[in-house]
Amino acid sequence: MPRLPRTVFAGLPHHVTQRGNRREDIFFADEDREAYLSWLKEYSDKHQVEVLAYCLMTNHIHLIAVPATDEGLHRMLKPLHMRYAQSINRARGWKGHLWQGRFFSSPLDDAYLWAAVRYVERNPVRAGMEHRAENYRWSSAAAHCGSSK
């Protein structure tokens, strides 16, 4: 049975998640996260996707993103996640899938947008990785709190 097409609406924010295959880690060092964020900027600029919030956990990612076109999320994430997976597989001598299936996305209405941003940015606090969201280096929380971290 074919997969149902993903529902993406140009101009609306979407909560995007993707996790590691078998829920295993996808980030192993700060350099991995730095590369991911650099490539996220590159591909979001190229495919006209505004990233409002993000959080990189050890085994999954969260994004709040606004695509300019219906195909924007797919066009941004496919090369980003392929490039990142190839980089990790090469560095670790692995073969096979890094990501578990395709990414999940859900459109957000105005009433839920900032609740979703808080959810994304507080993920490290809920996971016990940090006491304050703005102290977690690998999310957009510090920028939203006016911190220079």
pLDDT, position 3:
76
d(CA 57, CA 137): 11
As a whole number, mean pLDDT of residues 88-109 equals 96
pLDDT, position 148:
58
CA dihedral 90, 39, 23, 74 (to 10 degrees): -120
Neighbours of 99 (CB within 10 A): 18
CATH architecture under which domain 14-144 falls = 2-Layer Sandwich (3.30)
Q: 56-97: per-residue pLDDT in tens?
A: 999 999 999 999 999 999 999 999 999 999 999 999 999 999
Q: 5-29: per-residue pLDDT in tens?
A: 788 999 999 999 999 999 999 999 9
Nearest to 48 by CA among 65, 80, 72: 72
CA angle 39, 108, 21 (to 5 degrees): 50
Tell me the torsion sign for CA atoms 140, 144, 145, 149: positive
| Mean pLDDT, the chain, integer | 96
CA angle 82, 143, 139 (to 5 degrees): 35
